[in-house]
């Protein structure tokens, strides 16, 4: 088996960047679960499928001698159905071949509990979440990470038009939290503004012909 050279890998990475909108071949399917007993040993977990959990997955190149910096090639959002199942189309084959997949998962009021297993292949197929026990300020910090997930400077691939609902869910949860620090209050305000952007006020244009004319003064 011939091992690709660093130059060949770099060329593949360049093609993946130049062709981010090619056909998707790196499909990922998984199931989101709600965990009832997060403090129990993993073998004793009691789970049930979790609907309406959001999964934001990214494909990022791994730094190597040929390319010292990483590049985010593709980001996509999906949502679980009533059976907890979600599907991510993924990037084109070139991007999937030179990048590593990672993800964040969000459901209102819930945290992931399988972080130690995030690097294993099964972490992409089974996501476990449980009710968050974090303080409002810590929870808002985590939600900011959820809000900023994806590739910086690259548009999120959103084939099911979920980004609006995703940011609205974050904003609604943020509104219900009561942070005590100045930073927490700023994070809550930021999430609310992104989830429920205010529309600019409507401008009413009054035609000049309808404007009232000043009354002429009567000479004395």
Average pLDDT over residues 58-79: 83
Q: How far apart are CA 78 and CA 89, in angstroms?
A: 9
Average pLDDT over residues 59-80: 83
Element (H, E) at 86: strand 85-88
Element (H, E) at 130: strand 126-131
Q: Is 70 exceeded by the pLDDT of residue 117?
A: no
In angstroms, what CA-CA distances link 51 with 12, 31, 55, 80, 129? 37, 9, 12, 5, 11
What predicted TM-score, i.e. pTM, was given to this entire model?
0.76
pLDDT single digits (tens) 87-98 = 999 998 888 888
Average pLDDT over residues 64-91: 88
Lowest pLDDT segment from 76-80, 184-188, 208-212 = 208-212
């Amino acid at each position: 088996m011939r091992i690709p050279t660093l130059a060949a890998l770099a060329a593949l990475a360049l093609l993946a960047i130049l062709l981010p909108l090619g056909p998707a071949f790196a499909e990922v399917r998984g199931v989101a679960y709600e965990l009832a007993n997060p403090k129990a040993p993993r073998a004793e977990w009691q789970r049930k499928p979790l609907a309406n959990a959001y999964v934001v997955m990214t494909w990022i190149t791994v730094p190597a001698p040929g390319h010292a910096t990483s590049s985010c090639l593709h980001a996509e959002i999906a949502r679980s159905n009533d059976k907890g199942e979600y599907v991510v189309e993924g990037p084109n084959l070139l991007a999937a071949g030179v990048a590593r997949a990672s993800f964040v998962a969000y459901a209102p009021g819930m945290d992931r509990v399988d972080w130690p297993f995030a690097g294993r292949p099964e972490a992409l197929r089974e996501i476990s979440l449980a009710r968050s026990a974090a303080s409002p300020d810590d929870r808002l910090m985590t939600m900011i990470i959820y809000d900023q997930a994806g590739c910086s400077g690259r548009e999120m691939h959103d084939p099911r038009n979920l980004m609006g609902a995703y940011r609205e869910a974050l904003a609604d949860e943020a509104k219900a939290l009561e942070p005590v620090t100045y930073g927490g209050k700023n994070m809550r305000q930021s999430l609310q503004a992104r989830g429920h952007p205010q529309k600019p006020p409507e401008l009413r244009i009054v035609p000049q012909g309808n404007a009232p004319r000043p009354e002429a003064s009567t000479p004395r």
